[in-house]
């Protein structure tokens, strides 16, 4: 259990690292950010940071020596980096979780072994596997690179009667997973926190709307029945337990309807704090960032109480130019990440509206 004044090392310097650092500081903890990107927006809010590559062992060694525990704000931390650091200081969540979530095929197999539903899927490492996959899951389908995809990057939809080989070529014939296209009713996520002693707290189920494959709006509570919400939270709880997880994770799910019956299928697990949990900063008594810091510090989790009906709106690219409008909206809280360049598709900030009790 860390004492106030101890230092948490965070791998990654984006907005998630920045908001984790702010939460840690509120609890009297210090933060050391490690990121290879000199423009990391998390550097701006901490006293100590290291700007070095993930394979710079001298810099990693100094970083490990300067902190008490290490965590990460993104799932693509190279396995070698995580292993090097884990020999020197505790790394939480355990780096084994990275191996299970960096590869979409390993992740889907893991979820299926827990007997949790997913879209039908097949591995695609060759043209013949692609043909077999199309026969197995049917069309329409989505082809996704196994590694390093996000916000719709590394994905190609194959329409009914479409050309699967052309879709695979568009992804440079990289190893892929083919998923049956799910005609979902809505998308939801569950943000769950698990403490070092195995206690779990889930935030309420969040409903997510995407625009151009990027999260646009999250709303809480999601428009799902209490039974379905309980089922979604049970699934997130089972995944967190199966990972022996310490920290916050997000489970993205599709709500599907067959006749009158609705169920959820898991789309993806993010072993980190998540954009769809940003509403918790202003909309709940404890945020996802604070829960993560509490967990990796070995502290008890908070019992999150939602403060009203909440909406979180992402400010993407040039939308950040309308930030001053949000300053005048009653009940709205503005969060800007301090990024210099408002490139198209870049997450520049978000707004949370706490609408009513």
Residues near ligand AMP (CB under 6 A) are 119, 142, 149, 152, 179, 181-182, 187, 210, 213, 252, 267-268
Cα torsion 177, 181, 184, 187: sign:
positive
CB of 73 to ligand AMP, least distance (A): 18
Nearer to ligand AMP, 89 or 262 (CB): 262
CB of 26 to ligand AMP, least distance (A): 30
Nearer to ligand AMP, 121 or 279 (CB): 121
Query: Where are the strands (E) in the chain, listed by range?
Result: 7-11, 30-35, 48-51, 69-72, 121-124, 141-145, 155-158, 176-180, 186-194, 200-202, 206-211, 214-220, 247-258, 261-270, 309-316, 332-336, 347-356
CB 160 within 8 A of CB 139: yes
CB of 270 to ligand AMP, least distance (A): 9
Nearer to ligand AMP, 179 or 290 (CB): 179
Nearer to ligand AMP, 176 or 182 (CB): 182
Helix 57-66 vs helix 79-86: crossing angle, to nearest 10: 40
CB of 178 to ligand AMP, least distance (A): 9
Nearer to ligand AMP, 85 or 178 (CB): 178
CB of 156 to ligand AMP, least distance (A): 11
Cα torsion 255, 269, 238, 279: sign:
negative
CB 7 within 8 A of CB 27: no
CB of 181 to ligand AMP, least distance (A): 4
Pull the structure tokens for residue 252: 């993205």
Nearer to ligand AMP, 120 or 300 (CB): 120
Q: Output Rg (C-alpha) for the chain, integer angstroms.
A: 20
| CA end-to-end span of the chain | 36
C-alpha–C-alpha distance, residues 306 and 282, integer Å: 9
């Amino acid at each position: 259990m860390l004492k106030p004044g101890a230092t948490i090392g965070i791998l990654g310097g984006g907005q998630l690292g920045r908001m984790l650092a702010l939460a840690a500081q509120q609890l009297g903890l210090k933060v050391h950010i490690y990121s290879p990107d000199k423009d990391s927006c998390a550097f701006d809010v901490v006293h100590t940071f290291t700007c070095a590559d993930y394979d710079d062992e001298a810099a990693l060694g100094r970083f490990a020596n300067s902190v008490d525990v290490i965590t990460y704000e993104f799932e693509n931390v190279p396995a070698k980096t995580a292993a090097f650091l884990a020999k020197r200081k505790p790394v939480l969540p355990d780096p084994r979780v990275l191996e299970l979530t960096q590869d979409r095929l390993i992740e889907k197999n893991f979820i299926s072994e827990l007997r949790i539903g997913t879209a039908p899927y097949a591995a695609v490492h060759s043209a013949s596997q692609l043909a077999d996959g199309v026969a197995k899951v049917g069309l329409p389908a989505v082809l996704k690179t196994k590694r390093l995809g996000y916000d719709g990057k590394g994905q190609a939809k194959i329409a009914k009667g479409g050309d699967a080989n052309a879709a695979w070529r568009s992804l440079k014939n990289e190893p892929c997973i083919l998923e049956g296209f799910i005609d979902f009713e809505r998308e939801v996520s569950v943000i769950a926190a698990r403490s070092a002693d195995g206690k779990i707290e889930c935030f309420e189920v969040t409903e997510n709307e995407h625009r151009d494959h990027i999260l646009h709006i999250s709303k809480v509570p999601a428009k799902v029945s209490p039974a379905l919400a309980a089922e979604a939270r049970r699934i997130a709880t089972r995944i967190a337990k199966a990972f022996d997880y310490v920290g916050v994770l997000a489970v993205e799910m599709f709500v599907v309807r067959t006749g009158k019956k609705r169920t959820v299928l898991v789309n993806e697990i993010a072993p980190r704090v998540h954009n769809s949990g940003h509403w918790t900063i202003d909309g709940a008594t404890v945020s996802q960032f604070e829960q993560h810091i509490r967990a990796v510090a070995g502290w008890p989790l908070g019992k999150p109480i939602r403060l009203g009906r909440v909406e979180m709106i992402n400010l993407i690219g040039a939308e950040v130019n309308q930030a001053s409008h949000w300053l005048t909206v009653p009940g709205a809280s503005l969060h800007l990440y301090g990024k210099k360049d408002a490139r198209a598709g870049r997450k520049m900030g978000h707004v949370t509206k706490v609408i009513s009790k």
